[in-house]
Amino acid sequence: MTKSIHDWLFSILPEGIASITEMVLIAVAYLALFAIAGLYLVLLERKVAAWFQLRLGPNRVGPFGIFQTMADALKLVSKELTSTDRVDKFLYNLAPYFVIVTALLAMTIFPFSKQLQAFDINIGMFFLLAISSIGVIGILVGGWASNNKYALIGAMRSGLQTISYELSVGLSILTMVLLTGSLQLSEIIEIQRTGGWLIWQGHIPAIIAFMIFMIAGTAETNRAPFDLVEAESELGAGFHTEYSGMKFAYFFLAEFINMFIIASIAVVLFFGGWLSPFGITEGITWFPEVFWFFIKVLLIIFLMMWFRWTFPRLRVDQLLTLEWKYLLPINLVNIVFMAIVIWLNWIL
């Protein structure tokens, strides 16, 4: 389909205009995916929460409540944008765009199928780590610019948490990069075509890397049990206490898109990306590759939601103890184990 659109555009337009038009169409497609994925991950969260708590969840707007989050989005778009007189207006207005743009940039790297990838570069994993570390700037700026003590405490907690757990996320990814010898996402998936999923190829070090990645990745997205950033019982809404309407929606949406990004990284690194789990080279003909990718991502997201509705919120000291005394040392030892596995050629 993408090749047909490409050929059609270049057949009816001059080369320069056709290239720009193609870029605009790709940007619109990713914005649409961003909006739809965010809205329906919110719905999934509410349905999963209801299922865990033996409730129905949203069930009024549309069949089985499937249009509830669309109604919520319309409500947020139409709400007045309010703020106090004491905010730093420029930084206050800028902060939500930091969070949204970094999440959108990270999404462009993922190969949803063999042909469907907007931006395939040979340092893809490095690019992801670099981009995802910028998102916390938006939270810090928003909390500081709000001129509210609760927002500032939430923002400082976010900086503390992100800087800490980025180490474990990065080291888990580095463990798998060591196994594959590549930073390019499409190449990492191709390596799994013949040898099987990397979580099996890498033996116990790969399984440990996956477990640490999921714990640290959940902390990176500021989700329970690591949601000290916006602890309702302590900080109201944390760093976005002073935000309303669509600006609040940006922060809220970015959290769910960041879940999608963490789950997508896990799928690419550990579970074969868009490859069929049944060992068929090109996947089942009536079941396109892109669906395998999204099904795996949804399963990982469900696991992250399961965390939220199972574990109580950690204290700040417990949060830091978990990272610095447990996850980080285990990760460092695990990298050495992975190097030994590769050196002895124990790869499956």
Q: Are 209 and 175 in contact, with CB atoms under 8 Å apart? A: yes
pLDDT higher than 70, residue 285 = no
pLDDT computed for residue 348 by the predictor: 63
Count of C-beta atoms within a 10 Å radius of residue 119: 15
Q: What is the mean pLDDT of the chain?
A: 88
pLDDT higher than 60, residue 35 = yes
Tell me: the pLDDT tens digits for 92-117? 999 999 899 999 999 989 999 887 88
**pLDDT band at residue 216, thresholds of 50, 70 and 90?**
very high
Mean pLDDT of 58-79: 90
The SS3 call for residue 247 is helix
pLDDT higher than 80, residue 61 = yes
pLDDT computed for residue 269 by the predictor: 94
**Separation between Cα atoms, residue 32 and residue 50, nearest integer Å:** 27
Q: Which of 188-192, 261-265, 280-284 has the lowest mean pLDDT?
A: 280-284
**Separation between Cα atoms, residue 347 and residue 328, nearest integer Å:** 24
CA distances to 69, 79, 91, 167, 256 from 148, in Å = 29, 21, 14, 29, 25
**pLDDT band at residue 286, thresholds of 50, 70 and 90?**
low
pLDDT higher than 50, residue 283 = no
Mean pLDDT of 46-55: 93
Q: Where are the domains of the chain?
A: 1-78, 82-343
Mean pLDDT of 242-265: 90
pLDDT higher than 90, residue 233 = no
pLDDT computed for residue 279 by the predictor: 62
pLDDT computed for residue 333 by the predictor: 96
pLDDT computed for residue 206 by the predictor: 94
Mean pLDDT of 243-252: 88
**Separation between Cα atoms, residue 222 and residue 156, nearest integer Å:** 13
What pTM does this model have?
0.91
Count of C-beta atoms within a 10 Å radius of residue 86: 11
**pLDDT band at residue 173, thresholds of 50, 70 and 90?**
very high
pLDDT computed for residue 132 by the predictor: 86
CA distances to 30, 46, 66, 74, 255 from 39, in Å = 14, 11, 10, 11, 11
Mean pLDDT of 267-271: 95
**DSSP character at residue 322:** I
Mean pLDDT of 57-79: 90
Residue of 230 and 36 predicted with greater confidence? 36
